[in-house]
């Protein structure tokens, strides 16, 4: 029986991935937590930790399978070792669901255990946004983007939508299972409330500010193997110049993450004539590039993954959420050189010296920035975008190959646009590049895995959504309350309840 439960738990975890991009089988979003809930409810306490870990293996093993592509295809890591490293990463992440499942069964599966299970699910998503720098991926709320429930995102962010989704399947099951009519009515009220209140939810929290800007995204499609080759540097810059110069006169031209594969001082001579023309034509160029600074305390030279305004504007942004092993090596003194995977190019970046960075000044408007997977951090983007007219995110999704990661990344960016009700400009090296409107809709998108020039317009916005004003704490506090409601152990499992209803033939 344990083997069967472990297999079912594994499949239940994997089903959550199918609810998200690129598969978008939305009805599976509430099914995944429901199956997990049913499996744990019918299992002995001693098995709950292992069942939670099995669910996590299915959840992350399918949802972040693209980690293998980054390890194997873009380093000299042998295939068996790449598989082992991917398995280790997934197994470590799965410990979070092991903790969630074991704790719920041990302490929170009381009379109202269904509500505490929902609360723990949301707290688990929230925990993943900051624990050990965070890995805020695969939130169930992303599945609601193309549904009426998307209207809730500006109110409480993706976690409010996750709360609704995770709760829907479990509460519906309790409505059908519960024998007490007052309890059943309580669950039914919880189930219909998010839908019944939709007509009263405000869908427009921000307003237009100024005239739209003409935007051009340059998708150069540079091979990852060529990107950091010094012999390819001049040809890479020449490609960006050739694609960009015809668009001089546009308000804004965007190059993606580390489009300039060297420090600006080494590229300035080649780029200066183009930048002078852009200044003359009132065109703002923004590019990703590495930068350096000196730590005033240690006098050590620091290197940053940055975005900089190079013409007709001002501002530099340094990435604040670095990717472990991709951009910095934890315990570098011990790991650097041990494997080729720990020697990836540009894996020695540092955090900015200041926690508060200025916004970019673009055409008289302020723009907030997020580099690569920073866009996945709801609170980070919420805070940086409060004074911004629009949001820029740049990435180099070439690391992910032809996996599902670029689709997931774009879906995440769409949710950030909806939470802040601001336009998001998303520029990548090989896709998915696009423009996202304040309601999370992609209005323009470049073809993937090819060289492309994408043009469109974005409208600066002003005003704040409720989520931008108060953040995640109301949803987190409510989730804690749900956990408290379900404190206590279940005295009877579902199977025990069923047996208690059978006639006793011995009396």
CA torsion through residues 89, 95, 100, 101, sign: positive
Cα–Cα distance, 291 to 305 (Å, whole number): 7
For the question of residue 483 being annotated catalytic, the response is no
The residue from 125, 174, 319, 419 that is catalytic is 319
With beta carbons less than 8 A apart as the criterion, state whether 351 and 322 touch: yes
Q: What is the dihedral of CA 40, 142, 373, 442, to 10 degrees?
A: 160
DSSP string, 61-126: HHHTTTHHHHHHHTS---HHHHHHHHHHHHHHHHHHHHHHHHHIIIII-STTHHHHHHHHHHHHHH
Cα–Cα distance, 27 to 144 (Å, whole number): 10
Q: Looking at the DSSP assignment, which residues form a beta bridge with residue 219?
A: 452
For the question of residue 105 being annotated catalytic, the response is no
DSSP string, 206-240: -EE-S--EEEEEEE----HHHHT-GGGHHHHHHHH
The residue from 103, 125, 327, 372 that is catalytic is 372
Question: Which of 61, 51, 50 lies closest to 15 in space, CA to CA?
Answer: 61
Cα–Cα distance, 306 to 87 (Å, whole number): 31
Output the six-digit token pair for 232: 């390819």
List Cβ neighbours of 261 (8 Å cut-off, separation of 6 or more). 227, 228, 232, 233, 236, 289, 290
Q: Distances in Å between the alpha carbon of 323 and those of 191, 351, 457?
A: 38, 11, 31
The residue from 125, 174, 257, 379 that is catalytic is 257
For the question of residue 319 being annotated catalytic, the response is yes
Half-sphere exposure of 500 (CA within 13 A, CB side): 7
CB atoms within 10 A of CB 297: 7
Phi, psi of 245 (to 5 degrees): -55, -40
Catalytic residues: 257, 319, 372
């Amino acid at each position: 029986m344990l083997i069967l439960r472990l297999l079912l738990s594994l499949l239940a975890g994997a089903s959550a991935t199918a609810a998200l991009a690129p598969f978008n089988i939305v009805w599976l979003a509430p099914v995944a937590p429901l199956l997990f809930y049913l499996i744990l409810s019918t299992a002995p306490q001693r098995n709950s930790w292992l069942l939670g870990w099995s669910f996590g293996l299915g959840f992350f093993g399918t949802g972040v399978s693209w980690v293998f592509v980054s390890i194997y295809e873009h380093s000299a890591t042998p295939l068996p070792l790449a598989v082992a490293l991917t398995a280790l990463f997934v197994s470590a992440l799965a410990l979070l669901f092991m903790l969630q499942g074991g704790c719920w069964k041990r302490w929170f599966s009381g009379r109202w255990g269904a509500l505490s299970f929902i609360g723990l699910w949301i707290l688990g998503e929230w925990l993943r946004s900051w624990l050990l720098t965070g890995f805020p991926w695969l939130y169930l709320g992303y599945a609601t983007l193309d549904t009426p429930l998307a209207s809730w995102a500006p109110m409480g962010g993706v976690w409010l939508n996750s709360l609704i989704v995770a709760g829907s399947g479990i509460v519906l099951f309790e409505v059908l299972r519960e024998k007490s009519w007052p309890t059943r009515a309580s669950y039914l009220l919880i189930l219909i409330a998010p839908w019944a209140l939709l007509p009263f939810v405000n869908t427009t929290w921000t307003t237009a500010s100024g005239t739209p800007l003409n935007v051009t995204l340059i998708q150069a499609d540079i091979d990852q193997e060529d990107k950091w080759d010094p012999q390819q540097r001049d040809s890479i810059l020449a490609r960006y110049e050739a694609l960009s110069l015809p668009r001089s006169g546009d308000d804004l031209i965007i190059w993606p993450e580390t489009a300039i594969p060297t420090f600006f001082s080494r590229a300035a001579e080649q780029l200066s004539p183009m930048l002078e023309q852009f200044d003359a034509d009132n065109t703002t160029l923004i590019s990703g590039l590495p930068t350096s600074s000196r730590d005033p305390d240690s006098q050590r030279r620091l290197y940053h993954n940055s975005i900089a305004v190079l013409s007709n504007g001002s501002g530099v942004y340094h990435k604040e959420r670095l990717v472990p092993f991709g951009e910095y090596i934890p315990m570098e003194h011990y790991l650097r050189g041990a494997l080729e995977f720990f020697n990836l190019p540009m894996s020695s970046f540092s955090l900015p010296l200041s926690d508060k960075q200025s916004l970019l000044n673009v055409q008289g408007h302020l723009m907030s920035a997020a580099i690569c997977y920073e866009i996945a951090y709801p609170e980070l983007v919420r805070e940086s975008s409060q004074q911004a007219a629009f949001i820029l995110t740049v990435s180099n999704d070439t690391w992910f190959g032809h996996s599902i990661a670029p689709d997931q990344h774009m879906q995440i960016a769409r949710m950030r646009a909806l939470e802040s009700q601001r336009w998001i400009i998303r520029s990548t090296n090989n896709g998915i590049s696009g423009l996202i409107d304040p309601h999370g809709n992609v209005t323009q998108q470049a073809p993937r895995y090819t060289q492309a020039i994408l043009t469109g317009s974005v409208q600066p916005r002003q005003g704040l959504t409720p989520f931008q004003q108060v953040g995640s704490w109301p949803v987190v506090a409510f989730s804690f309350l749900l956990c408290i409601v379900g404190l206590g152990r279940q005295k009877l499992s579902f199977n025990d309840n069923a047996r208690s209803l059978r006639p006793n033939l011995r009396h």
